[in-house]
Structures are given as C-alpha cells and as structure tokens.
Amino acid sequence: MKTSILAALLLTAAVLPAAAQSGPTPQEQMACRGDASKFCSEHIGKPPEMNACLRENKTKLSDGCRKVVESHGG
C-alpha cells in the first residue's frame, strides 16, 4: 500500500511540471505570430527567449497576443 501511494505521488510530481510548461496552442501561436515577427524575430525557434521578449513588449502587443501572454503568466 505504501509503495503504491509513493509511486502515485512521484508520478504526480513528474507530470505537473511538464503540464505547466506546455507550449502555446496553435491558436495562441496564430494570435502572436505577427507580434512575434515584429518585436521578437531574433528569438524565433527559441521558446524561452521568445516568451521573455513577448513579456517585455507586452504593452506593444495586439490585444489577442497580450491575452495569450497574460494567460501564460506574463
């Protein structure tokens, strides 16, 4: 019994961070495509840098992209 509880806790701990770091949906990518090209083109293909760039430029983003950035903690 203790082994199965421990296994369940370890599995949960491994899955939650992966889910929290999941990338943007295709719809979210489309909402930010123009802004990403305009403000952060040097970071295309580098998700962590792109996310940071979009957060830094949040006040300049289109409404749709700003909502995406805010929904991901930016």
Q: Residues 33-61: pLDDT tens digits? A: 999 999 999 999 999 999 999 999 999 99
Q: Residues 6-36: pLDDT tens digits? A: 333 333 333 334 434 567 899 999 999 999 9
DSSP track, 16-61 = HHHHHT----HHHHHHHHHHHHHHHGGGTT-HHHHHHHHHHTGGGS
- pLDDT of 62 > 50? The answer is yes
Res 1: pLDDT: 52
